[in-house]
Amino acid sequence: MANIQLKHINKSFGSTKALKSLDLEIKHGEFFVLLGPTGAGKTTTLRIIAGLEKPDQGAVFIDDEDVTNLQPAYRDTAFVYQQYSLYPNYNVFDNLAFPLRSPIRKISQSEIQTKVQEIANLLKIDDKLRSSVTSLSGGEMQRVAIGRALIRKPNIFLMDEPLSSLDAKLREILRLELKRIQMEMEATILYVTHDQVEAMTMADNIGVLNQGMLEQVGTPAEIYNRPCSTYVASRLGSPRINLVPTSLFESEVLPPGTTTLGIRPEDILLKDNHNHPSSKQKSAMTWVDGTVSSVENLGAEIILEISVNGEEVQAIADPEKNYNAGENLELSFLTEKALHFNQDGQLI
Ligand SMILES: Nc1ncnc2c1ncn2[C@@H]1O[C@H](COP(=O)(O)OP(=O)(O)OP(=O)(O)O)[C@@H](O)[C@H]1O
Ligand SMILES: [Mg+2]
């Protein structure tokens, strides 16, 4: 177990400011997810904690000790890279066993055998132990890379989109497994992802990075329900939150300064939509006319794109009902669920 603190980290590559005065605190045994679009500085943050990159300014603390000038080997972290990085000349077994074979560890051959087998079973690669890693599929290689990090039980795991190259089913299994292992080991994990399902389901806390700056830190529920800005609001939720001008739904009593309404697709009301009980519909203030521009049937729900006064609004609809493109309908929203943003995109 270990905690991590980053204090006022600045890091530039040439003229690119990758991190700008970044402060971050991750507690013992916490599963912390870093969210942000490409180029936001996620990998750079992980590399600075691992010691693979040195900050221009600021300090890194692990377990309250200043490790800013410490070599990577002296920080007890395990890194799972965005792209699998295995030893190509070794087979799967030897790749998994590698971290255990360090002379300072003095782990017996039979213990190594047991641990490798255990991890291989967990990640469902036990039938590949004697295969060369170059013969593996991308998903299999990534499982070996995750296994190599898990096998050694370090204090801190740094994971850079470790599941992104896997198929949906395996992702789901490993998502649960990683969370289970983390709780069992009480490990501290800093996990980078683009995948909001991973963020929502695994994180104790989520940090949202925006161009090298941390825009908000909070629990998944806080980030989802009370995003501090339109930027954060649009990072979580699928389909995305609707960010529409206040003029779209008139006669709303709004806090002064509101220019944009944030309405989640599940909070859009459709007249006669069986999804929403009628008691909920009472809170709808105004109904406006829209035209269905596309219908996406996901089985358990339908996602409608509705054109309203030149704006596109996404709504979740009842799959039992038969919606068609071109159809006219009336829509509104749950007023108590709407978020109010000012012209700078900040939550009011
Ligand atoms: N070694 C490097 N040399 C030059 N520029 C770099 C280097 N590493 C990172 N950068 C730049 O720093 C910024 C942040 O990069 P980083 O890799 O941390 O982003 P990221 O959030 O991990 O993005 P992605 O989701 O695409 O992996 C980017 O603009 C990137 O081009
Ligand atoms: Mg990256």
- Determine the average pLDDT of the residues in 73-94: 87
User: Does a structural domain hold residue 282?
Assistant: yes
Of the listed ligands, the closest to the CA of 81 is 2
Confidence of residue 271 (pLDDT cuts 50, 70, 90): confident
Q: Give pLDDT, residue 138.
A: 80
The total domain count for the chain is 2
3-class secondary structure, 92: helix
- Same domain, yes or no, for 145 and 270? no
Confidence of residue 273 (pLDDT cuts 50, 70, 90): very low
CA–CA separation, 139 and 141 (whole Å) = 5
User: Does a structural domain hold residue 347?
Assistant: no
Of the listed ligands, the closest to the CA of 213 is 1
Whats the size of the chain, residue-wise?
348
CATH number where 128 lies: 3.40.50.300
Domain end: 215, 232, 249, which one? 232
- Same domain, yes or no, for 209 and 100? yes
Domain that residue 10 falls in: 4-232
18 lines ligand 1 (CB under 6 A): yes
User: Does a structural domain hold residue 132?
Assistant: yes
Of the listed ligands, the closest to the CA of 212 is 1
- Same domain, yes or no, for 187 and 331? no
User: Does a structural domain hold residue 288?
Assistant: yes
Q: Give pLDDT, residue 282.
A: 53
Domain end: 168, 202, 232, which one? 232
- Same domain, yes or no, for 157 and 274? no
Ligand 1 midpoint to CA 50 (Å): 16
User: Does a structural domain hold residue 303?
Assistant: yes
Q: Please say whether the beta carbons of 91 and 128 come within 8 A.
A: no
Count the Cβ atoms, other than its own, within 10 Å of residue 342: 16
Strand partners, 214: 209
Closest of 323, 338, 332, 335 to residue 268, by C-alpha: 332
- Same domain, yes or no, for 189 and 285? no
Ligand 1 midpoint to CA 6 (Å): 18
- Same domain, yes or no, for 111 and 174? yes
Ligand 2 midpoint to CA 195 (Å): 13
Q: Give pLDDT, residue 219.
A: 97
Whether omega before 256 lies within 30 degrees of 0, making that bond cis, reads: no
User: Does a structural domain hold residue 304?
Assistant: yes
Model pTM score: 0.88
- Same domain, yes or no, for 71 and 198? yes
- Same domain, yes or no, for 202 and 304? no
Q: Please name the residue whose Cα sits nearest to atom 30 of ligand 1.
A: 39
User: Does a structural domain hold residue 348?
Assistant: no
Q: Please name the residue whose Cα sits nearest to atom 17 of ligand 1.
A: 43
User: Does a structural domain hold residue 186?
Assistant: yes
Confidence of residue 81 (pLDDT cuts 50, 70, 90): confident
